[in-house]
Structure 1
Amino acid sequence: MEVRYCLSCGHQLEIRNIGGENRKACPSCSYVFWGNYSIGVGALILKDEKILLVRRSQNPGKGLWTNPGGYIEQHETIEKTIIREVVEETGITAKVNGIIAIGDMPREVHNVYLVFLMDYVEGDPKPDNVEVDGAGFFNLEEMDSMNVAELTRELARIAFEQPSHGLKYNPVKMVSLPTYGLYGIQSLV
């Protein structure tokens, strides 16, 4: 969907060069449409040398086994998003250990994908029967005979290698930008 009207005052947007880019801006107020973005999250949860996978019951990816995940809500932290998505899709409680992969797909809706290594806390995998119709822990050998998405295969390989470094959330608030989170490279061991 193309944005044509100001989301603040409703006036028709015009094209202006702002910061060296042609952007849609409102001639009536200060609103600038900076773009259309989507932030997705994925979880890699290991337990007993197996990784948690779900089978998608909806498109995209219907019938494929993938790592659990979803999209952030407007007023939700990324960490809460991945914890919520895992519980919703599988009934598993897990906590964030760190970020071990970042995907970037610029297109009409610029998609950014953050993949978290998470520590299993409790629960038995149960699909929600809405977004996913299968859930369980599987080892690499079992995955060989399953219809696993290629990205998930690569992410599982990363998770099983037990990375010793990665991106980890730093909960210290930045003074100049108090609502921003900061990520930095730290040891995961």
Structure 2
Amino acid sequence: MSKSEDIVINWARRLQSLAQAGLTYSKEKFELERYQEIRDIAADMMAYKSDLPLAKVKDLFCNETGYQTPKIDTRAAVFQADKILLVQESDGRWALPGGWCEAELTVMENCIKEAKEEAGIDVTVEKVIALQDLQKHSSKIFPYGVLKVFFLCHKTGGHFQANSETIATDYFSLDNLPPLSVNKTCVEQIKLCFEAQADKNWQTRFE
């Protein structure tokens, strides 16, 4: 993405955030109409600069109420010897087990739930490896902010069963990784997990 495209995307996100706040807190009819128009313009800008159709952009970008905040994604790093656990999705690519944080769960509870659902295993959470802004670690254009939380976990039991989200699991060494679903887990993030697993005095990385 070029610098000019990046600026336009940031403008669109900012306009959407301001419009959403205005739609939430304003009471006057004509103000609400103007904020809705700003929101529509922001969606048009995002669709124009991304590969997403306008209807999809509005579904992802303009479907929330209240003050706009990032979505939260949790990922579990589970090790066996010197290999890390990855799950294979239906498109054949691999990622750390994880997903969107559900509203009624804490980030730790969500990490444990996702490990069970996607990898079939029970885990305990040992520490937070990193908090990352996804847009700083992906070339893909996202119409909303995403905060990724990586946890170092320990397997306590369970076994994999194929499900609606994943078709296989396996452990991989850092020098023999499979094709990754890079917007969910990239090589840089897996390297970070290996570093955290090897360092007993690991300090959470954040940005």
Q: TM-score, normalised by structure 2?
A: 0.59
Q: Which amino acid aligns with 1:148?
A: L
User: Is 1:110 aligned with 2:139?
Assistant: no
Paired residue total: 147
Aligned partners of 2:128 and 2:152 also within 8 Å: yes
Residue identity (%): 24
User: Is 1:153 aligned with 2:187?
Assistant: yes
**Residue 83 of structure 2, aligned match among 50, 60, 71:** 50
**Residue 92 of structure 2, aligned match among 63, 72, 75:** 63
CA change 1:81–1:13 in 2 (3 A) is farther
Looking at structure 2, the residues matched to 115 and 92 of structure 1 have their Cα atoms a distance apart, in angstroms, of 17
Looking at structure 2, the residues matched to 121 and 65 of structure 1 have their Cα atoms a distance apart, in angstroms, of 22
Q: Tell me which residue corresponds to 2:74.
A: 41
Gaps of 5+ in 2: 1-15, 36-64, 136-141
Looking at structure 1, the residues matched to 77 and 126 of structure 2 have their Cα atoms a distance apart, in angstroms, of 10
User: Is 1:77 aligned with 2:127?
Assistant: no
Looking at structure 1, the residues matched to 108 and 131 of structure 2 have their Cα atoms a distance apart, in angstroms, of 14
Gaps of 5+ in 1: 17-31, 169-183, 185-189
Looking at structure 2, the residues matched to 67 and 12 of structure 1 have their Cα atoms a distance apart, in angstroms, of 47
Q: TM-score, normalised by structure 1?
A: 0.64
Q: Which amino acid aligns with 2:204?
A: L
Q: Which amino acid aligns with 2:101?
A: I
Q: Tell me which residue corresponds to 1:167.
A: 204
How large is the Cα RMSD of the aligned pairs? 3.4
Looking at structure 2, the residues matched to 13 and 103 of structure 1 have their Cα atoms a distance apart, in angstroms, of 36
**1:92-141: CA deviations, max 9, x gaps?**
111111111221146532111111111121233x2543111111222234
Aligned partners of 2:124 and 2:153 also within 8 Å: yes
Aligned partners of 2:24 and 2:67 also within 8 Å: no
Residue 44 of structure 1: how far off its partner (Å)? 0.6
Aligned partners of 1:6 and 1:12 also within 8 Å: no
